Amino acid sequence: MKLKTSLEGQTAVVAGGASGIGAACAKSIAANGAHVVILDKDLDRAKLIANEIKADGGQAEGIYLDATSSDEVKKTIAGILAAHKKIEILVNSVGVTGSTGVPSHELSLDDYRKIFEINFYSALSLQSAVMPHMLKSGYGRIMHIASIAGKEGNPNMGPYSSTKAALIGHVKSSAKEVASKGVTINTIAPAVVRSPINDNTSPQVLEYMISRIPMGRIGEPHEVGDLVAFVVSPAASFTTGFVFDLSGGRATY
């Protein structure tokens, strides 16, 4: 039987899709037939990724969004629904690493609050904004990009590890709330992936993370994008509340 991975006719929203993992997800989803709306604070790059998708024969557009503003998230999602009448897919790739190379006890509460605003509360706003429509239509696929740091914890990356652990907990709990409504909510836990998010990560932290990967290399963005495109397709219809490993063997549970 042929896998039901086609996304033809669907509308996908990729938040944080202007670079790195988000851009790779946008490209893979578009390559499978969906119209992709790329949301990002970097509008120029969002439009650049959209143009690259269109140059490859796909459908995409870039829209500005500061995902830390819940009001702006609501307005932006409402605008997409007004234009496209539907949203079947939400991929949330909004995130920053925050402080690296610093022990948690040397950080302030504000250091943590800032990263939670970006990495966790924006995820809540995005999911809450699309959920009423998905529940009404009886179909939806939500994918949050977490991290292996949220499962195992990376030393000297306290704020980042904590936000990703919180995101995993949110996925597991909220997925059960809508499991019988046609909406799935999943997450992936990548190990270190070649992405601009790691530009400010200290060399010592990067060395530690790579040393934990049995494959002995970092992941490539397209490897994340291809897995996400499958999980948000109709083929992955009986999986929800799950954390997909994408760690080169670092986590095998």
Give the pLDDT confidence of 17-56 residue by residue, as tens digits.
999 999 999 999 999 999 999 999 999 999 999 999 999 9
* Contacts of 143 by beta carbon, 8 Å cutoff, 6+ apart: 25, 89, 90, 91, 92, 185, 186, 187, 188, 228, 231, 232
Confirm whether 61 is domain-assigned: yes
Confirm whether 2 is domain-assigned: no
Residue-level pLDDT at 202:
74
User: How far apart are alpha carbons 12 and 116 in whole angstroms?
Assistant: 25
Query: pTM here?
Result: 0.94
Q: Residue 199: is its pLDDT beyond 80?
A: no
Q: Residue 127: is its pLDDT beyond 80?
A: yes
Confirm whether 193 is domain-assigned: yes
The mean pLDDT value for 168-182 works out to 98
Confirm whether 1 is domain-assigned: no
CATH code (residue 20): 3.40.50.720
Confirm whether 6 is domain-assigned: no
Domain carrying residue 108: 11-246
Q: What is the pLDDT of residues 204-249, one digit of tens each?
A: 877 887 898 999 888 999 999 999 999 999 999 999 999 999 999 9
The mean pLDDT value for 181-185 works out to 98
Catalytic residues: 160
pLDDT range class, residue 192, cuts 50, 70, 90? confident
- CA distances 43 to 64, 70, 75, 103, Å, are 5, 18, 17, 34
Q: Residue 16: is its pLDDT beyond 90?
A: yes
Q: How many domains does the chain have?
A: 1
Residue-level pLDDT at 163:
98
Residue-level pLDDT at 101:
87
User: To the nearest whole number, what is the mean pLDDT of the chain?
Assistant: 95
User: How far apart are alpha carbons 47 and 63 in whole angstroms?
Assistant: 8
